[in-house]
Structures are given as C-alpha cells and as structure tokens.
Amino acid sequence: ITNPEEISTLVNKNYRLPQDYTPNDLALISPTFSKGEKYLRKEAKQAFEKLGADASEKGYTIRLSSGFRSYEYQKILYTYYVNHNGKEYADLCSARPGHSEHQTGLSFDVEGSLYDYNRFEETKEFLWMKENAHRYGFILRYPKGKEKITGFKYEPWHYRYVGKEIAGIIKENNLTLEEYLSQT
C-alpha cells in the first residue's frame, strides 16, 4: 500500500500495511459510544459519534466494540484463531498481521442492544445500520454473498469508514470496496 492515509485505501488479503504503520490522527471514542478505550482516525471518530448520537435519539444503542488494532495486536489475534480453530478457519474470520483494516483506524466492530457483536445481526440496531450507515460514510465491509470477493466470511458487525460519497455509491450499487475500487 503506497498511501495508507487515504480514506479509500484497500487493505485485504492482497494488500498489506507496513508493520510499523499507525495512523497519526487516532482519537479516543467517547465512552458513550464505546466499549472500553477504543480509537479511530479523527474523521471516522467524528462520523461514528454522530451516527451513535443520532441512533441514540431514535432509541438505538450502537457501541464500538473494537476499533484500531496495531500490527502486533493483530498478530496475537490471528495466532489465537490459528491455534484454536486452525489456519483455514482463521483465514476466513481474521486478517493476517498487516492485512487488517483495523490497523488503518478506519474499521471497527459494533454491538447493539444485545451487547454482543456476534449477535449484532439479531438486533434492531443492525437493521438501522443497514439503512443508515452510508449516510455517515460507513459501509458494511464483509456483506453476505460477497465472501469470494472480500475473502472473509459475512460479518454483520464490521464496518469501514470510506466517506459519504463513496459509501453512498457502494450502498446504492450493492458493491464491496473491492468492486468499487476496481471500477474507478
């Protein structure tokens, strides 16, 4: 990846970030919208907190359960999945170090009113996010039916900040970030 600071940069199984990359504008998410001390890049943080506040006004609870992850943290996480579930499973649900979007500071996992990201799809918050996330610049990063394109299993809790314009195009055309970038 030549420009990891670019909002639309593609990080996946084929494109990796430098081991020492850490965004220079990480900002702490308000505890109101976060489970513990979590960080996103400033622009993504502001958009997420706006989304969280607007959702809250409508009676929804959307909290960040995972934000920025360093290369080293991702290495530990990936190794855990390999050791407990095998390499094949690990490669479907956990990025290898350097290949995780979380390292960009633009990706995050959320939970809703069940307070369990694994059950996010079962919540009313999931339906709200599905209809509204793009209005704040976010996309569902690993959608159902697009596993062969993204290389990861469906993750209804994993979102990525790409800005309102790109998010709107992706939502309107039912694309993944890979599909969008291949057309631009």
- The question of whether 111 is a catalytic residue gets the answer no
- Identified catalytic residue from 155, 165, 172, 178: 155
CB atoms within 10 A of CB 128: 18
167 CB-near residues (< 8 Å, 6+ apart): 133, 134, 135, 136, 137, 138, 139
Is 79 strand, coil or helix?
Answer: helix
DSSP 19: T
DSSP 34: B
18/2 Cα distance (integer angstroms): 9
Phi and psi at residue 60, to the nearest 5°: -105, 150
Is 104 strand, coil or helix?
Answer: helix
Give the CA angle between residues 152, 6, 8 to the nearest 5°: 40
Q: Which residues are catalytic?
A: 155
